[in-house]
Chain A
């Protein structure tokens, strides 16, 4: 074995260790979090696209995500550039347990659950009815989660289920929020039941018939 190949082999082992380290760290972070995580429920709508590489998944839609405040902040000058800006959304719960954003900041707030979101527009809040700008400032942002993976039979069924569901049927995304602003999607629930269970029970019923 040539001396240069020995050096290459050692370097290669270091690179392999680095390549494995990232996913291992992620798995450990998600399975055994070192700090307390909080579970939040987000109201969602879903539809079912198809991607040849990623397979089946349901696309999550949260409607127009807008945050309003009285004063523009000092950090938001970069928001209106192409690509927007990543900021921290401070989360809280409504009375019904669903999550909402109380504040947008450029740094994590200690003691509060924060989520990294991409803020893509900032401007004066415009009221189309009065055709005037209110005194407030409006920030448009996107949540970092926009899909939930399901198998190829369940994904189209999920969309059909919500379309044919009775009024008042609600889909909620359960997201585990980590102290550094990262997240992991736990489950997608329909009327507080996991979507997988709901769909499987529907499938079993239809097979029995």
Chain B
């Protein structure tokens, strides 16, 4: 059932109540009911929007797979010049399709197809030239080249499908020499995606929900790539930025309520930060980064994140958005994070533990002040994370650990009961 269909169904269900309360005359209710039935019937007869593109993508993949097998079958018997011409054919096809699309101003389906075909043609040509001349090479280098050459197509065709493929390609591209130092080129390649995603997550263009999830994937690729180079410093700052962006987007869209699934940033940002803080709390290795060995790339990347963070925060203030308790906690996190330049790894591990406790307490305090169950649960998750990390910490004696767990468990149950009672005593504001 499509999204619109659900609204019509909801309206139909509410009609008897509205008539009973005298808010709606019987005649109007019947007319609205007829309209609801008609709309639902139309909506149920249409195929979901993703059905045809999925079929087309599946069919295209099968055809491409067949062609690959056909070409690789006795490919060696063809003369070299024929092989080079054959290798260039997909790119030529993509070029013809792209030029036609732009000349005739065709719609989004053509643009998506042209972008994917051109990028695929480029990958095929480079791969086959490497095969014809037996030059070998590594998958990560190949993908780096293909992504670098294809990234402009994202902007030219505004292609969501190509964005997905290139973002997925970032994982093997950066994973090939995982742990190795990242070069300037890799940083530039990664950041080249950023304007595209920033443009699409703001909610002013179609498919915002899709792009927001895709941005999550993009951020995960960045974390995967640059963790080894920048460690906790970069990871925690990026997590804070994701959470702040999510909060800002959520506040911005309060006037136009949407499903929480439409904005995955707050949940993803919170879970990411919790996971990273758990890692930071568990092991001093998390902050034992090679900042001094890889200083320039680390500091530039971290500086960019901090700059973005401040930009998002200040823009929110300018638009009159409220300062949340979380804003303060995230600023505290950025400050704690910057201590990595002055403290050693063990001291940073202690700072991460302290931060988890402060953030947990801060959220619980905010929950009681604003009577928000969500804040309370978030605070308790942070406390639980801290407790779980300490459960396996053999540096602490067993008895204090055991007592700590019991107190935390009782606190969770008691706090939940207290908040629930206050919420249902008629003092609660909607969350």
Chain A positions near chain B (C-beta within 8 angstroms)? 1-2, 5, 8-9, 11-12, 14-16, 18-20, 22-23, 26-27, 30, 52-56, 78, 81-85, 144-154, 182-185
Beta-carbon nearest neighbor of B78 in chain A:
A151
B150 to chain A, nearest CB (A): 8
The answer to whether A12 and B179 have CB atoms under 8 Å apart is no
The answer to whether A23 and B135 have CB atoms under 8 Å apart is no
Q: Which of A15, A22, A83 contacts B179 (CB 8 A)?
A: A83
B184-203 with Cβ < 8 A to chain A: none
The answer to whether B102 and A19 have CB atoms under 8 Å apart is no
| 19 A-B contacts (beta carbon < 8 Å) | A2-B105, A8-B156, A9-B99, A15-B149, A16-B95, A19-B121, A19-B150, A23-B87, A23-B125, A30-B133, A54-B131, A55-B72, A56-B72, A82-B178, A84-B177, A145-B134, A147-B134, A149-B134, A151-B76
Q: A9-B102, A26-B133 are in contact. Are A16 and B74 (CB under 8 A)?
A: no
Beta-carbon nearest neighbor of B290 in chain A:
A81
B128 to chain A, nearest CB (A): 9
**Size category, B interface:** 35 or more
Scan B158-186; emit 1 where CB is below 8 A from any A CB, else 0.
00000000000000000011111100000
Q: Is B299 an interface residue (CB 8 A)?
A: no
The complex places the Cα of A105 from the Cα of B228 at a distance, in Å, of 26
Q: Specify which chain A residues have a CB less than 8 angstroms from the CB of B99 in the assembled complex.
A: 9, 12
Chain B positions near chain A (C-beta within 8 angstroms)? 68-69, 72-77, 84, 87-88, 91, 95, 98-99, 102-103, 105, 118, 121-122, 125-126, 129, 131, 133-137, 145, 149-150, 152-153, 155-157, 176-181, 228
Q: Specify which chain B residues have a CB less than 8 angstroms from the CB of A152 in the assembled complex.
A: 72-74
Q: A54-B72, A83-B177 are in contact. Are A185 and B126 (CB under 8 A)?
A: no
Q: Specify which chain A residues have a CB less than 8 angstroms from the CB of B145 in the assembled complex.
A: 22
Q: Specify which chain A residues have a CB less than 8 angstroms from the CB of B103 in the assembled complex.
A: 1, 5, 9
The complex places the Cα of A82 from the Cα of B77 at a distance, in Å, of 40
The complex places the Cα of A23 from the Cα of B134 at a distance, in Å, of 14
The answer to whether B72 and A23 have CB atoms under 8 Å apart is no
Q: Which of B152, B180, B181 contacts A15 (CB 8 A)?
A: B152
The complex places the Cα of A147 from the Cα of B130 at a distance, in Å, of 11
The answer to whether A144 and B131 have CB atoms under 8 Å apart is no
Q: Specify which chain B residues have a CB less than 8 angstroms from the CB of A183 in the assembled complex.
A: 135
The answer to whether A22 and B72 have CB atoms under 8 Å apart is no
Beta-carbon nearest neighbor of A20 in chain B:
B91
B298 to chain A, nearest CB (A): 15
Q: Which of A2, A146, A149 contacts B131 (CB 8 A)?
A: A149
The complex places the Cα of A85 from the Cα of B180 at a distance, in Å, of 8
The answer to whether A78 and B126 have CB atoms under 8 Å apart is no
Q: Specify which chain B residues have a CB less than 8 angstroms from the CB of A84 in the assembled complex.
A: 177, 180
Q: Specify which chain A residues have a CB less than 8 angstroms from the CB of B179 in the assembled complex.
A: 81-83
The answer to whether B134 and A184 have CB atoms under 8 Å apart is yes
The answer to whether A148 and B134 have CB atoms under 8 Å apart is yes
The answer to whether A151 and B156 have CB atoms under 8 Å apart is no
The answer to whether B136 and A149 have CB atoms under 8 Å apart is no
Q: Specify which chain B residues have a CB less than 8 angstroms from the CB of A150 in the assembled complex.
A: 76
Q: A82-B180, A83-B177 are in contact. Are A151 and B77 (CB under 8 A)?
A: yes
A197 to chain B, nearest CB (A): 13
Most A CB within 10 A of own CB, among B102, B105, B118, B181? B102
The answer to whether B136 and A144 have CB atoms under 8 Å apart is yes
The complex places the Cα of A22 from the Cα of B181 at a distance, in Å, of 25
The answer to whether A26 and B129 have CB atoms under 8 Å apart is yes
Q: Specify which chain B residues have a CB less than 8 angstroms from the CB of A11 in the assembled complex.
A: 152, 155-156
The answer to whether A8 and B134 have CB atoms under 8 Å apart is no
Q: Which of B69, B91, B181 contacts A78 (CB 8 A)?
A: B181
The complex places the Cα of A14 from the Cα of B87 at a distance, in Å, of 20
The complex places the Cα of A148 from the Cα of B133 at a distance, in Å, of 10
The complex places the Cα of A84 from the Cα of B176 at a distance, in Å, of 11
The answer to whether A154 and B133 have CB atoms under 8 Å apart is no
Most A CB within 10 A of own CB, among B91, B149, B155? B149
